[in-house]
A and B are shown apart, each in its own frame.
Chain A
Amino acid sequence: MTVRRPIRRRRRRSAKTFWLTTMMLPVTVWLLLIRYLPMFGISLSFLDYRLPTRKLPFPSNLFKSVWVGLKNFNFLFTSESVTMIRNTIGYNALWIVLGLLISVTFAIMMSELTKKFLAKTYQTMMFFPYFLSWVVVAYFLFAFLDPTNGMIARAQKAAGGDVIDWYNTPKYWPYILTLCSMWKNTGYSTVLYLSAITGIDRSQYEAAAVDGATKWQQMVHVTLPHLKPMIVILLIMNVGKIFNADFGLFWSVPMNSSPLYPVTQVVDTYVYRAYTSTGNVGMSTAAGFLQNLVGFICIMAANSIVRKLDADSSLF
């Protein structure tokens, strides 16, 4: 009797582990096939990849591909890739800072509104663009920028000025893309920060007010310190993605217009275009690999810096 009990308990425990593990299976299989298997594909960036043909179907073409070392990384030394890297990092850095400033400001303003109903309405309206696809946003923009019927073109014509051919004039697009990105994403991050602010204990503000703190001082000494962990986490995540661009934004919003490539080409679109137009698998894989590697290093670096400064705010 006394001997049997622990065995039964152990058996029950291993049955539990077994059944819980079976639950993991579907996602695990998916992750292994669609996320982990492609990681071996990174080796393609060191090969001269032979596209599969009817004579040489898929797996066997791999064995016919020859090792070329770092040749696929030569694209890095073209002016085209300098532009695309500059664009990717430039836009991301600008948008991280701008997005943070705007959404934290908006969230604080929103939290100070005394008419709660209006605050809710603003929030609902601001969040709306987040749920639309870039394809749809591209149409929204087109209604304003279309050179023949667009609202701006017609207004310019009516004023007797020259009509700007937006989709062929690169110099405006850094501003347009920034506007689009802020328009679509500000609502989302504002809502995130706002919910963090509403989670702050009201009595802290009252105590500060009793001690004679102005609204501005309350913001600096109560609100911002409470928002810090969240700002830090979102910053780490965004810095980790500094080499990744939103494909939809850079592809469909400028309508894939080639005169705009100097200001709209980013790593993601470059990889896709190199792959579809030239079929250069080795080179585009190499570009994608670099993108992931840099992202990985950035996120690790950002996280370890944060962990040194303030262990509680770090992501992992």
Chain B
Amino acid sequence: MTAIPKKARDHFRLNAVSRKTESVFHLVLGLFALACIIPFVFVIIISFSSEDSIRRIGYSFMPQTWSLAAYEQVFQLGDALWRSYFNSFFITVVGTSVSVIMCILYAYPLYRKDYKFRGFFSFLSFFTMIFGGGLIPTIIVCKDLLGMSNNYYALIVPMLVSPFYIIIMRTFFQTTVPFDLIEAATIDGSGEYSTLLRVVLPIMKPGIATVALLTALGYWNEWFLCLLYVTDRKLYPLQYLLMEMQRNAEFLARNSSMLGASGADAIRSLPSQTMRMAVVVFIVLPIACAYPFFQRYVVEGLTIGSVKG
């Protein structure tokens, strides 16, 4: 029973590549797949290595001694770290909720075949995908005209709308919501908003989840807006805090000889290399933990959006 004859097993391989070719495929794909996660594993190991081990053998997959010092240091950062953590969370949650609501409200009428101004509004959002005013005029409008500097608006508002996500959402509407359903609801006397809320949204959950996840990732990984509009340290999101740490370390490392004794002091008080790696772990960990669950939605959403969009 256990020994299926080789011939019968090969029957399942009908029209498959030869075993030899397949093992080459496994080798190539497997190596690349490993290469995609090994850097993260490496950074985790570094963050648990002791300073002593790093001084002696550098960053290594097998440190001589392990230590939690980096994490103790991270917690000693105290306010700066927690505030950045809070900022990242706050921006992600508020940004994502507002953004998804706006996206649904815009995509839904675009899906309605019977909506009069459909063509005009699709063009309005599509055109911004192929032409724009450029970075500097956008900065002037946001900063000088709309007052987005050193406040949460600056970190949220410029990323609220993405024409690409509108296309994804509209395509989701087209593939999951049958138009008859809306006609039926209208005949029953349901208003436009209550049709959307009671009839359409409950069956749109996968689509909403996809766009929400993509948007949330975008906000969580955001640092460019902070670079453009924010100088107040209290508003730094995690990503920017990390970038700043590196920049300060580089600056001091390059100029320590010129700064003399005070420079050496400054270097000693700097967050250590391992601690910065620990902050990286802090940033990536939420993504890595949620990743297996949201991966499916994202794959689905992106394929729908870019194949049929």
Contact = CB atoms under 8 A, between A and B. Distances in A.
Interface in A5-59: 16-17, 19-21, 23-24, 26-28, 30-31, 33-42, 44, 52, 58-59
Interface string B33-63: 1111101101100100000001101111000
B130 A233 contact: no
A38 B291 contact: no
B144 interface: yes
Nearest to A125: B33
Contacts of B125: 27, 31
A186 B33 CA distance: 10
Contact of B130 (A41, A106, A240): A240
A143 B37 CA distance: 14
Interface in B148-197: 157-158, 160-161, 166, 186, 191-193, 196
A19 to B, nearest CB: 4
Nearest to A280: B136
Contacts of A113: 22, 25-26, 29
Contacts of A70: none
Contact of B128 (A31, A52, A247): A31
A305 to B, nearest CB: 16
A143 B36 contact: no
B109 interface: yes
Interface residues of B, number: 102
Contacts of B291: 124, 128, 131
- Interface of B, secondary structure class, is helix
A242 interface: no
A135 B226 CA distance: 13
B138 A19 contact: no
A192 interface: yes
A197 to B, nearest CB: 11
A140 B134 contact: no
A196 interface: yes
Nearest to B40: A140
A150 B140 contact: no
Contacts of A44: 136-137, 140
B292 interface: yes
Given A106-B29, A281-B136, A20 B112 contact: yes
The 5 A-B pairs with the shortest beta carbon distances in the complex, nearest first, are A41-B137, A288-B134, A38-B133, A154-B58, A133-B221
30 contacts: A16-B114, A19-B193, A23-B108, A30-B160, A35-B128, A39-B131, A41-B137, A106-B28, A112-B21, A118-B30, A122-B30, A124-B292, A124-B295, A128-B291, A131-B287, A133-B222, A133-B283, A135-B240, A136-B221, A140-B39, A140-B40, A146-B59, A151-B59, A151-B60, A233-B306, A252-B243, A255-B250, A288-B137, A289-B134, A300-B130
